[in-house]
Structure 1
């Protein structure tokens, strides 16, 4: 009888210890995940390298000394579709003034992005973040999200919504090098 009681006690202690170990592992996994920094105004924009639809490499650092309107988008996103023609209308004028529009598609098939570009008659660089690495680097939620980056590489504003043509114009103007 004492042996049975002893076995039950050992079994209870073993199960309790196992449950405590599993609980500790779960708590550690939840609390130790790498926290992605939320970028804010005044932060230095993280450098990255992506290719556009033609295969040309674009590094954010290549635009140092100029303004960058960095827009993250998806073909399925209604506000993205609405703001793209406004960006196209302003693209050439502001590029001549040292402000570049770079759009980053987040993880969609290249052919889908190309069809979108062609249907909308867009000519500005469309970068392809096929593995969503830059999306994760910039902690993008929701789409569209746009970062205004000044000539020193600092983020001056983060816009997490669609924009009108007037707003885009004002934002492009705000990051024009002096």
Structure 2
């Protein structure tokens, strides 16, 4: 009889804890603020991330004012990301001198994983890790790869989800290139 009573009390406690968790989840979902969805034409939100190879170098979107920005979100596990990176690197070599910057933002992986991946592909553009996923959240990125094209005025020109080929990448970089004076 004593075991049954203990078991009943334990079950009751577990039931109360589960019920409290359900109530909390429903309450927090109902009162959660709506996240602003980033849209074409919006001013791109500023952020700051540390460079993969130089911890003293910070990448702030605001530092690229007047340039076209090819903001690419990716992960090492993402096969389409792996396929498009060499093409991004090739086009960056062409468009960098024309005022287009690439910033590849890894989604919260370790520095070792990211460096190994980048060095294995031999790509040459700035890379940063979004350790807290704050930038990913700010830009409403849910699927990888995702690329946000930002024009020289700092506005979102286009949002691309999924793999791009080299022709598309060249066309997108051309579309955000600053006007030559």
TM-score by structure 2 length? 0.83
**1:34 to partner: Cα distance:** 2.5
Residue 130 in structure 1 maps to residue 131 in structure 2: yes
Residue 177 in structure 1 maps to residue 178 in structure 2: yes
Aligned residues: 159
Aligned-partner Cα distance in 2 for 1:26–1:112: 34
Structure with the greater alpha carbon radius of gyration: 1
Aligned-partner Cα distance in 1 for 2:24–2:113: 42
**1:158 to partner: Cα distance:** 0.1
Mind listing any 5+ residue stretches in structure 1 that lack a counterpart? Answer: 1-18
The aligned residue for residue 145 of structure 2 is 144
Tell me the C-alpha RMSD between the 2 structures: 1.8
**1:73 to partner: Cα distance:** 0.2
The aligned residue for residue 43 of structure 2 is 44
SS in 2 for 1:42: coil
Superposition pairs for residues 52-131 of structure 1, below 5 Å? 52-54=51-53, 55=55, 56-131=57-132
Aligned-partner Cα distance in 2 for 1:75–1:131: 17
Mind listing any 5+ residue stretches in structure 2 that lack a counterpart? Answer: 1-18
**1:35 to partner: Cα distance:** 2.4
Aligned-partner Cα distance in 2 for 1:90–1:23: 50
Which stretches of structure 1, 4 residues or longer, exceed 4 Å deviation after superposition? 22-27
The aligned residue for residue 30 of structure 1 is 29
**Bigger CA drift: 30-39 or 140-149?**
30-39
